[in-house]
Structure 1
Amino acid sequence: MQLLAYPRETTSLDGTWQAIPDQYENFEGYFEDFFGDGEDDMPTGFAPKPIYEPEASVENEPCDFNIHDGRSVEIPSSWGEELPEFRHYEGWVWFAKSFDCDTEQSGARSFLRFGAVNYKAKVWLNGELLGTHEGGYTPFSFEVTETLQDGENTIVVQADNQRYEDGIPNEGTDWFNFGGINRSVELVTVPQTFVRNYKVETSLDDEVNVHVSAWVDNPQTETAVSVSFPELDREFELTPADKSDEFTGSLSFTADEVSLWEPSDPQLYTIRVATDDDAVVDEVGLREVHAADGDILLNGESLQLRGIALHEEVAGKGRALDSEDVATRFQWINELGCNFARLAHYPHTEEMARTADKEGILLWEEVPAYWDINFGDEDVQELYRQQLRELIQRDWNRASVILWSIANETDHTNDTRNKVLPQMADYVRELDSSRLVTAACFVDEDDDEGLVLKDPLEEHLDVIGINEYHGWYYGDSDNMKHFQEDPNGTPVVISETGGGAKWGHHGDEDERWTEEYQAAIYRGQTSAVADSDQIVGISPWILFDFRAPMRQNEFQRGYNRKGVLDQHGRKKKAFHVLREFYQSGHLE
């Protein structure tokens, strides 16, 4: 179960760390490889330690690496932005930080939590291996209660951003591989028995029904768990469920007692989940989302999603966003007139969903099951479930999140894929049945039927995303008007569409890479989807230009230029076309 940290008071371990590149992967066990398994096998008087031991760095020893004297970097960060000479480096980098701790004041139990390390991480504290983690975008933690020392402590992290054939994502992506400790590192201190996580689910009938589950670490026979909503003046007790660490309970409100969360009124209520010695205080929105008769319904009302897709990236910072960066994204999203955003193609920072809760922006969140994943490999399937679980358990209390996406542009003619993806859809529903399951798929062109959905995954999804680039890679920009819709079928979101343009490059509407060409594509695309009953939303690709090594022509030079903004936030003509379309009321 994911360790909930955000609402707690934690000790930040962000700041200056030491970084040591290790391209040849020498430093772990380096001397053991050369001299044997112990000091007795080494030359007399020469006993250097492995890099992950705090005492490895001793003055005047002939060390080629020193965890206390690497390259100073700020964490969180992407190493190619902090160290420009490593802009395209893929491999191992060792990170180290020393910090002081008063173990008598730190609490009964302590956990070391990482927001994200790309892509594999191996972590030591005071020379003791805590564990490993695979996956570059989701949080993980280790208990360090017995490993923390009174006084100085040293963390060492081996970060590996190499791309792996059996990874998620695998070796081929259309975005840049930013290596590093890209999100915050925290020391979380809690009582012996504490609330590890909780989940709020809302359903509507004649009343507003709220179900709460809480997971308690180290529950005792006498452990009691209470839930309160202070602004609503309600409190109730949870009861033990079948699982030893889970407690559940429900309560109901009349419609007049609460304001349901929605984009035009993103009402949040304080929730307090507490045991005798621990309490988590958070803010949640109460709302219901489901799909029926070709529509997405929020609180029983049909939604039209006016959206945009975006990557997690800032020029000069890589993937290490701060609060100001997050605020700037929502400024752009709101200026466009959006009520919806697709956070592609991996979990973004937790602050995006928390800000969306406050701003009233609906979200699509996804894991990087992208293109050619090795779906038939059992280890890959377990990694797939792990990444889904870590994302969902992190954000399942965010009212803004309405869609969990399980895949992007995978081959719907592949039998193994068609067996595994429905299993992943079912797994998502096991974790969280209160949201909709989707995937970004393709639409097929049939000579007799026009544009049709032939992906067998459709019958396993609540909403189907369609990535299509009519007017850019093929066809005319308004070709989606030929989509053979089923108004009562699976709701469709155009999850990607658009075309490229270099900011400031102008010409005629038929001149590729000009702002005018891109704007014309947007006019055709938006007009084509406006009158479709089955298409309930659109999230064009993409908000801003982003790094992409496979894009290397004279207009791109390592950037995907499909943004309606460039990487510095300068607006292209397509930005204004999309804003005018959303403000026109065609998607209301």
Structure 2
Amino acid sequence: MHLLSYPRDSVSLDGTWQAIPDQYEMYDGYFEDMVGDDDEDNPAGFSPKSIYEVGASEQEGMPVDFNVHDGYSVDIPASFGEAVTEFRHYEGWVWFARTFDWDAETADDQTHLQFGAVNYKAEVWLNGERLGEHEGGFTPFSFDVTDELVDGENLVVVKVDNKRYDDGIPNASTDWFNFGGINRSVELVSVPETYIRNYKLETELSEDSVHVSVQAWVEHAAGDAEVTASLPELDTSLKLTADDDGVFTGEVTLARTDVTLWSPSDPRLYTLEVTADSDTLEEAVGLREVEVVDGDIQLNGEDLWLRGIALHEESAGKGRALDIEDVNERFEWLSELGCNYARLAHYPHTEEMARKADEEGILLWEEVPAYWDINFGDEEIQELYRQQLREVTQRDWNRASVALWSIANETDHKDDTRNEVLPQMADYVRELDETRLVTAACFVDDTDDGIVLKDPLKENLDVVGINQYYGWYYGDADDMQQFQEDPDGTPVVVSETGGGAKWGHHGDEDERWTEEFQAEIYRGQTEAIDGNDQIAGMAPWILFDFRAPMRQNEHQRGYNRKGVVDQHGRKKQAFHVLREFYQEKRP
């Protein structure tokens, strides 16, 4: 279960760390073989200082090539290749380390070391004790370090491996850049002996009532533990009682007239307090319900058309280590476009995106990087798949803005193994959270009868995402008019569409890579989509240009140029075409 740390007081370990590249993977246990008694192989009885001790690189008798106190200074969170530009394209091991002071007398009963995200594999030590490891570059993880912390100076060391793996998620081939490093914040979270590890808020609506339920996962709860939840602004409190699995649950029904439901037009947030003995979590939450009814996506019982756009987690010069100014800039663009929705592709973005979306009234599609050709039949990969789904779901299941969990992107619907495994993953997400919609980004097929959805996964999804590039890679921009319409069928969201253009490159509307060509694709796509009752929204590809090593022609040079904004924030003509369309689509 994910340790919910956001609303707690914590000690940040962000700031200056030392980073040591280890391309040949030499320094894992590097000095152990050199320590020993005086013998013929070690005539001086040479026993160098630990590589973890200050001054080891200056030891007399033999030079030391590696010391965790003497690397490249990097301000964490950071994408290593952006912080140390001579390693911009480096993939491999990097050791990160920093010392910090700890006052044991002022700490609570237990302390956890939490990482927001490390790409891609991480192995962690504290004061020389190995804490454990984590695989997956975009989701949080933590370790109980109560017994490893010492009063005074402590040393944390993280071995980060950002190589691409055929048996990873994602696998070795992606259409985005592999930013390695400790890309999100690191913190020490202290809790009392009995503490709330996580909780889940769920809302269900009827014609005249709002039913609210709260589940809490409480660690070390005694038999007489008092666990409660309250919404002070609604003058509501409820007692949570433990079920057979030790999960504390409570529920209350409110009059609908007393509640302002969260929506893009009015993103009302209420303070929720969850308490277990002396531990209290307090944060802002929205009450709302999202569902599919008669082929339509509904929010709070009203039909909803998703005016969106997709985006990567990236900032020029920073890589994936976004700060709050970067997050705010994205929401300024979304607001200017007239969006009520965004697709966070192709992996979990920083938690700040969902929290900001709660405040701004932007619905979100969140996904894991089950992307292209992962080995769906491998049991270890399936377990890693579930782990990544679980970690992002448990992190963000209390965010009112999160409406869709996506389980895959552009996977082969003719692969029998994939068609067996993906429905299982859809079911797994619903086991974790049944209050949101499950989706995936799929392909369509051209037939003599028109454009159709042949992907069997559609039977297991609440909403089907379609990635299609008519007018760019094939066909004409308005070909989506031929999409077979089933108004009462599963709602469809166009999860990708668009074309590339280099900012400032101008020409005729039929000249590829010009802003005019891209803008014309957007005109054709929006006109074709607008008249189809089964299509419930769109998220063109993409908000801004992003790094992509496979894109190397003269107009791209390592960037995917499909953004309606370039990597420096300069708007292309397509931005204004999409903005005008969304203004017309506003209710």
Q: TM-score, normalised by structure 2?
A: 0.98
Shift of 1:43: 5.1
Show the 5 A alignment for 1:207-246.
Answer: 207-244=209-246, 246=247
Q: Distance in 1 between matches of 2:184 and 2:347?
A: 14
1:272 and 2:256 aligned: no
After superposition, give the CA deviation of every residue in 1:77-128 in whole Å (9 maximum; x if it has no partner). Answer: 0011100000000000000000000011111000000000000000000000
Instruction: Quote how far apart the aligned CAs of 1:31 are.
Output: 3.1
Change (3 A) 1:59 1:106: farther
How far has the Cα of 1:219 moved from its partner?
A: 1.1
Equivalent residue letter for 1:155 = V
Asked whether 1:389 is paired with 2:402, we answer no
Aligned counterpart, 2:542? 542
1:441-467 CA-partner distances (Å, limit 9, x unpaired):
0010012x1100000000000000000
TM superposition shift of 1:140: 0.2
> Secondary structure, in 3 states, of the residue corresponding to 1:264?
coil
State the partner residue of 2:580: 580
Contact 1:289–1:436 (Cα < 8 Å) also in 2? yes
| SS, match of residue 424 in structure 2 | helix
Instruction: Give the secondary structure class of the aligned counterpart of 1:419.
Output: helix
Distance 1:35 1:264 in 2: 66
Question: Take 1:333 and 1:360, find their aligned partners in 2: how far apart are those partners?
Answer: 11
Cα pair 1:18 1:97 within 8 Å, conserved = yes
Instruction: State the alpha-carbon separation in 1 of the partners of residues 37 and 184 from structure 2.
Output: 37
Alpha-carbon distance between aligned partners in 1 of 2:46 and 2:294, rounded to the nearest angstrom: 75
Distance in 2 of aligned mates of 1:373 and 1:367:
12
In the other structure, the counterpart of 2:180 is 179
Q: CA deviation at 1:45?
A: 4.1
User: 1:60 matched to which residue of 2?
Assistant: 59
1:304 is aligned to 305
Preserved CA contact (<8 Å) 1:307 1:339: yes
Instruction: Tell me the CA shift for residue 221 of structure 1.
Output: 1.2
Q: Is the 8 A contact 1:57 1:67 kept in 2?
A: no
What percentage of residue pairs aligned between the two structures are identical?
Answer: 70
- d(CA) in 2 for partners of 1:78 and 1:113? 18
The one-letter amino acid paired with 1:522 is Y
For residue 148 of structure 2, what is the aligned residue in structure 1? 147
Shift of 1:485: 1.3
Q: For 1:20 and 1:439, locate their aligned partners in 2 and report how far apart those are by CA, in whole Å.
A: 39
- CA shift, 1:569, in A, is 0.4
Structure 2 match to 1:189? 190
How many residue pairs match? The answer is 583
> Which amino acid is the alignment partner of residue 452 of structure 2?
V
- Match of residue 97 from structure 1: 98
The AA in structure 2 aligned to 1:57 is: A
Instruction: Select between 280-289 and 59-68 the one with higher mean Cα deviation.
Output: 59-68
Counterpart contact for 2:241–2:248, Cα < 8 Å: yes
Q: Does 1:322 align with 2:344?
A: no
Q: Is structure 2 residue 486 aligned with structure 1 residue 491?
A: no
Aligned twin of 2:15:
15
Q: For residue 374 of structure 2, what is the aligned residue in structure 1?
A: 373
Which amino acid letter does the alignment assign opposite residue 478 of structure 1? D
Q: Which amino acid aligns with 1:388?
A: L
Which whole-Å CA distance do the structure 1 matches of 2:382 and 2:37 have between them? 39
Alignment CA distance shift 1:195-1:561 (3 Å):
same
1:6 — aligned with what?
6
Q: Structure 2: how far apart are the matches of 1:243 and 1:120?
A: 32
Q: Distance in 1 between matches of 2:59 and 2:250?
A: 63
**SS of residue in 2 equivalent to 1:169:** coil
Check conservation: 2:108, 2:191, Cα contact below 8 A: yes
What SS does the aligned partner of 2:146 have?
coil
Q: Which amino acid aligns with 2:480?
A: M
The 1:37–1:60 alpha-carbon spacing in structure 2 relative to 1, beyond 3 Å, is: closer
Contact 2:49 2:59 in 1 (8 A): no
CA distance in 2, matches of 1:373, 1:170: 6
Report the TM-score, using the length of structure 1 for normalisation: 0.97
Matched, 1:518 2:518: yes
Say which SS state the counterpart of residue 258 (structure 2) adopts: coil
Q: 1:346-405: per-residue Cα shift (whole Å, max 9, x none)? A: 000000000000000000000000000110000000000000000000000000000000
Distance in 2, matches of 1:55 and 1:46, equals: 18
Once residues 584 and 237 of structure 1 are traced to their aligned partners in structure 2, the CA distance between those partners, rounded to angstroms, is 47
Question: What is the rounded CA distance, in whole Å, between the counterparts of 1:43 and 1:124 in structure 2?
Answer: 32
- Tell me which residue corresponds to 1:398: 399
Are 1:474 and 2:466 matched, yes or no?
A: no
- CA offset digits 1:215-242 (Å, max 9, x no partner): 0011111111000111111111000012
Matches within 5 A, 1:96-135: 96-135=97-136
Distance in 2 (CA, whole Å) between partners of 1:188 and 1:154 is 16
Q: CA deviation at 1:60?
A: 2.0
**Deviation for aligned residue 1:49:** 5.7
Aligned residue for 1:476, secondary structure, equals coil
Name structure 1 gaps, 5 residues minimum.
none
Partner of 1:563: 563
Counterparts of 2:189 and 2:106 in 1: how far apart (Å)?
13
- Cα deviation for residue 35 of structure 1 reads 4.3
SS at match of 1:420: helix
- The AA in structure 1 aligned to 2:150 is Q
Change (3 A) 1:259 1:79: same
Deviations for 1:165-199, whole angstroms, at most 9, x for unmatched residues?
A: 00000000000000000000000000011011000
AA aligned to 1:294 is G
Gaps of 5+ in 2: none
Task: Provide Cα deviations, 1:278-329, integer angstroms capped at 9, x if missing partner.
Answer: 0000110000011121111111101100000000000000000000100000
Contact 1:402 1:435 in 2 (8 A): yes
Change (3 A) 1:148 1:15: same
| 1:261 equivalent in alignment to 2:290 | no
SS at match of 2:257: coil
2: CA distance, partners of 1:288 / 1:282: 19
The one-letter code sitting in structure 2 at the alignment partner of 1:60 is Q
Alignment-mate amino acid for residue 225 of structure 2: T
Q: Which runs of 4+ in 1 moved over 6 A?
A: 36-41
CA contact (8 A) 1:39 1:47 kept: no
Question: Residues 33-72 of structure 1: matches in 2 within 5 Å?
Answer: 34-35=33-34, 42=42, 44-48=44-48, 51=51, 53-54=52-53, 57=56, 59-61=58-60, 62-72=63-73
Superposed CA RMSD in Å reads 1.3
CA distance in 2, matches of 1:566, 1:469: 19
Question: Take 2:492 and 2:539, find their aligned partners in 1: how far apart are those partners?
Answer: 11
Deviation at 1:66, TM superposition (A): 0.8
- Could you tell me which amino acid in structure 2 is paired with residue 190 of structure 1? V
Report if aligned partners of 1:369, 1:406 keep a CA contact under 8 Å in 2: yes
The 3-state SS of whatever aligns with 2:336 is helix
Distance 1:348 1:136 in 2: 10
Q: Which amino acid aligns with 1:324?
A: E
